[in-house]
Amino acid sequence: NSIWVSTDHDEIEKVAKQFGAQVHRRSPEVSQDSSTSLEAIREFLNHHHEVDIVGNIQATSPCLHPSDLIKVADLIQKEGFDSVFSVVRRHQFRWSEVKKGENKMTEPQNLNPAKRYRRQDWPGELYENGSFYFAKRHLIEKGYLQGGKMAYYEMRAEHSVDIDIDIDWPIAEQRVLSFGYFGKDPLKEVKLLVCSIDGCLTNGRIYVTEDQKEMVSYDYRDIVGIDLLKKRGIQVRLISERDCSKTLSAIQLGCTAKVSATNKLQVLEEWQKDMGLSWKEVAYLGNEESDVECLKKAGMSGVPADACAVAQKAAGYICKSSGGCGAVREFAEHIFLLLEKVNSARKQ
């Protein structure tokens, strides 16, 4: 019935409200490093007596799908369970731990080594994956997230992603690209990439010689990225607020470009309409405040690592590479990964 973000952080509150969530400001007592989710939820309930059921959705599980949450809500509201939590099936053989200095052998925990079977022939075991915990109010008030009439909800392995430590992050990124939820509207094939020249294709620096000639630098990897996009049938167009015609002539990319563009969104809308494309078929790579509206409109949007803060907030993908240092190539590879998802969905 309502979606809340529990936080004590001003910036998180601002972003949560931008995306339509309501915000519960946590007290310092439940905002410590050692504070638990249960403590924060109990404090929330003390301020919201109208809430009967809480679905605690963990931000560290980015592949969670709405369909899972709907089914879990039905288990509580229609089938009478007091608590439901997420699990995933694992096929891992467990052995007892032998601590250093102990004079004993390890023992099998869930297998017989004498009759060892292939893991893929074994039904496996269910493990909590931490994606969500749903519980009725009376349980939480007693200090439980699990209890009463309990049920587990088994999630698909590809949707079971849990970020605990730094090395989990790149794995989660790839899982999200392949299995993440991208809204109610299906992804479409990208037909057009529009790239801001200064700060994306170049690093934004302008070198001036003694005879007042301007020079810029670019990364050859980005040129390769543009060529790969073209080979995939994706048209690449360039845009800039300043007149950089000589720069484009020197690079010889063979792309349609609009320079001295005082209104980038207007140019983008004209291109989109002329090509008969939906916004879902347009990708945009920008880095400045002047790119924000374009980033919001495009179906796929990205910024280099050194883009300004407002552009980063508006983008769907933040490159690890900086402008003029491989960001275009990286964003091209991001597009290819998402297109693989589109093709996979069509085959299914």
pLDDT tens sequence across 329-339: 999 998 888 88
Statement to judge: residues 296 and 340 lie in one domain: yes
Statement to judge: residues 307 and 259 lie in one domain: yes
Inter-residue contact 203 to 295 (CB < 8 Å): no
Average pLDDT score over residue span 318-328: 92
pLDDT at 26: 94
pLDDT in tens, 127-141: 999 999 999 999 999
- Of the pLDDT bands very low, low, confident and very high (cuts 50, 70, 90), residue 257 is confident
Tell me, yes or no, whether 259 lies in a domain.
Answer: yes
Statement to judge: residues 207 and 274 lie in one domain: yes
Statement to judge: residues 223 and 334 lie in one domain: yes
pLDDT in tens, 78-113: 999 999 999 999 999 999 999 998 989 999 999 899
pLDDT at 347: 62
Statement to judge: residues 332 and 211 lie in one domain: yes
Statement to judge: residues 225 and 153 lie in one domain: no
**pTM of the predicted protein model:** 0.67
Within its chain, how far is the Cα of 170 from the centroid? 11
Q: State the residue range of the domain holding 249.
A: 192-346
Statement to judge: residues 129 and 236 lie in one domain: no
The domain tally of the chain equals 2
Tell me, yes or no, whether 197 lies in a domain.
Answer: yes
The pLDDT of residue 280 is above 80 = yes
The SS3 assignment for 188 reads coil
Tell me, yes or no, whether 32 lies in a domain.
Answer: no
Average pLDDT score over residue span 173-196: 79
Task: Note if 116 is an active site residue.
Answer: yes
Statement to judge: residues 148 and 202 lie in one domain: no
Catalytic residue among 25, 94, 116, 242: 116
Statement to judge: residues 127 and 218 lie in one domain: no
The pLDDT of residue 247 is above 80 = no
Tell me, yes or no, whether 70 lies in a domain.
Answer: yes
Q: CATH number for the domain including 279?
A: 3.40.50.1000
Q: How many Cβ atoms sit within 10 Å of the Cβ of residue 195?
A: 28
**Helix then strand then coil, % of the chain, to nearest 5:** 40, 20, 40
